[in-house]
Amino acid sequence: MSEVESRVPIGLDRETSRRNFLKTAAWTGAAFSAMGIGGFGVAIRRAEAQGEYKTYEGLGDAAILQFAYQLELLEGTFYAEGVEAGLFEDAFLEQIVAIRDHEMAHADAIATTLGELGAEVPATPQFTFPNGTFTDPTAFLELAATFEPVGIGAYQGAAPALESKDILAAAISIHNAECQHRCAINILNLVNPPNDLAFEEALPIEDVQAAVKPFGITG
Amino acid sequence: MENHTIDFPGAQEFARPRSRRDFFKSLAVAGAGATAASMLMSKEASAQTSDVDIANFALTLEYLEAEFYAMAVDSGVLSGDALGVVKNLADHEAQHVTALKDLLESVGATPVEKPAFTFPEDALSSQSSILELAATLEPVGVGAYLGAAPLISSPDILAAAGSIAGVEGEHVVAVNWLLGVVPYANEAFPKALTLDEVSAAVAPFMGGQMMSTGGPALPPREAYRLGPL
């Protein structure tokens, strides 16, 4: 595909031309499923075996929020650049704009909470994205489909470790928004049906850190 | 950039007596049927909404959704994308029912029985009537789990509630898609509901009856107001 062609915005009328991408998206989903769990009964056993809760538990609420803040900035920056690159139009654009706004609202809310806790708000990391991310809509959506499960897994893994019930209430709401994003990105990736999981999946913090390190989050 | 803030309710609103938390931990560790069941009946335990009550409350909601979607799949009025989505809805809710029952039994508690549900006469008459009712039920499911999560003591039950809540949120988005709502995912902070709000939303499907947890009375509305509003 030429550079010019690849920059044509994706809208509803282009859905059928992107069927091939499904294979990639399906593979990505399978990778995360294999990494994750097949139901919370399994999750609990896995958590007990690996001490999953304890890894988040050792951090404390402020450190968990500082990490979550950087995750939200990564996502927000990613979607903002996707919007600015003109990759999308129609319903696709409306959805990407909404997700961008949600991630930025999450980051702002977390920063406010860190302030209330008297904890430092981390500096914005220098994010890097793979070549072609903002020139090829399919590459962009492929990356989106990998980001969302990481955010979900991080919040879900961290939730039982949070001391403050107020922060838990906020975190579980943000977790839900991330799950909604995952399903919306499925729709844009033509995954049908888009509601494809019976149980969402927690990730151990090591997996989350490994997943975001290539993009510039090292803390 | 526009500023966004979360208005947190006061922490003490949700504070629970330390003894209650320790009680449930010991319950979970013991996991012995008869002993745990009799402990649950004790006066001390009934003073608070326990994890078991919350799980039973959630189970009732899942029964309702599972039954409706199973009927919707069998109705023959769904086709195409809608049939695929609703088949998954039916499958997911049935798995949630099984998971919650297993979880309750694993701590020696008795899952509530499935109540007799009634649905509006025309609920299954067309694809749009099915999707409209789905669009009503799913945010109730999300709100119920989000409202309950901060009241849960057991990390295992909290992990389950979070996992299931996320899936209910995905259901909201899939139904939005079928109904032509754009953007499909349109809430930065999905809303928590109070137990009373959930119970009131479900009452029409239970002959006007409020939901039973199989345990002590539900806490006052204020105690359940949680999360970003």
Written as one string, the DSSP assignment of chain B is: -------PPPGGGG---HHHHHHHHHHHHH--HHHHHHHHTSHHHHTS--HHHHHHHHHHHHHHHHHHHHHHHHTS---HHHHHHHHHHHHHHHHHHHHHHHHHHHTTPPPPPPPPP---TTTTSSHHHHHHHHHHHHHHHHHHHHHHGGG---HHHHHHHHHHHHHHHHHHHHHHHHHT-SSSS--SSPPP--HHHHHHHHGGGGTTPPP--SSSPPPPGGGG--S--
More confident residue, B72 or A218: B72
In 3D space, the residue among B56, B36, B39, B18 whose CA is nearest the CA of residue B153 turns out to be: B18
pLDDT tens column, A107-119: 999 999 999 999 9
Predicted confidence at residue A219, as pLDDT, reads 75
Ranges of chain B whose pLDDT falls below 50: 1-48, 215-229
Q: Which two tokens stand for residue A213?
A: 């390190």
Q: A101: distance to nearest CA of chain B, Å?
A: 8
Which residue, chain included where needed, has tokens 């989350």? A208
In this prediction, residue A8 has a pLDDT band, given cuts at 50, 70 and 90, of: low
Q: Are residues B167 and A165, on separate chains, in Cβ contact within 8 Å?
A: no
Average pLDDT of A182-190? Answer: 98
Name the least confident of A41-55, A90-104, A181-195: A41-55
Predicted confidence at residue B72, as pLDDT, reads 98
Q: How far apart are CA A186 and CA B58, in angstroms?
A: 27
Q: Which two tokens stand for residue B225?
A: 């107001």
In this prediction, residue A14 has a pLDDT band, given cuts at 50, 70 and 90, of: very low
Cα A19 from chain centre = 23
Task: Identify the bridge partners of residue B31 per DSSP, sorted by sequence position.
Answer: none
In this prediction, residue A55 has a pLDDT band, given cuts at 50, 70 and 90, of: confident
Phi/psi of residue A182, nearest 5 degrees: -55, -45
Is the pTM of the predicted complex or chain greater than 0.80?
Answer: no
Q: Which two tokens stand for residue B185?
A: 């995912």
Q: How far apart are CA A89 and CA B45, in angstroms?
A: 56
Average pLDDT of A10-16? Answer: 51
For chains A and B, count residue pairs whose Cβ atoms are closer than 8 Å.
208
Q: Can you say whether the dihedral through the CA atoms of B152, B157, B158, B160 is positive or negative? A: negative
Q: How far apart are CA B23 and CA B213, in angstroms?
A: 19
Q: Are residues B188 and A105, on separate chains, in Cβ contact within 8 Å?
A: yes
pLDDT tens column, A149-185: 999 999 999 999 999 999 999 999 999 999 999 999 9
Question: Looking at beta carbons, which residues of chain A come within 8 Å of B163?
Answer: 40, 43, 156, 199-202
Tell which of A12, A32, A40 to mutate to test the B interface (max B CBs under 10 Å). A40
Q: Are residues B163 and A105, on separate chains, in Cβ contact within 8 Å?
A: no
Question: Looking at beta carbons, which residues of chain B come within 8 Å of A198?
Answer: 91-92, 95-96, 167
CB of A200 within 8 Å of a chain B CB? The answer is yes
Neighbours of B208 (CB within 10 A): 8
% of chain A surpassing 90 pLDDT: 73
Q: How far apart are CA B69 and CA B87, in angstroms?
A: 7
CB of A97 within 8 Å of a chain B CB? The answer is yes
Predicted confidence at residue B212, as pLDDT, reads 56
Q: Which two tokens stand for residue B79?
A: 């086709």
ipTM given for this complex? 0.80
In this prediction, residue A217 has a pLDDT band, given cuts at 50, 70 and 90, of: very high
Q: Are residues B185 and A181, on separate chains, in Cβ contact within 8 Å?
A: yes
Q: Which two tokens stand for residue B119?
A: 């649905």
In this prediction, residue A76 has a pLDDT band, given cuts at 50, 70 and 90, of: very high
Predicted confidence at residue B208, as pLDDT, reads 75
Coil, strand or helix at A119: coil
More confident residue, A52 or A129: A129
Contact between A57 and B158 (Cβ < 8 Å): no
For the cut 50, the answer to whether the pLDDT of residue A19 exceeds it is no
Q: Which conformational region is residue B50 in: left (phi greater than 0), alpha (psi within -120 to 50 degrees), or beta?
A: beta
Predicted confidence at residue A31, as pLDDT, reads 33
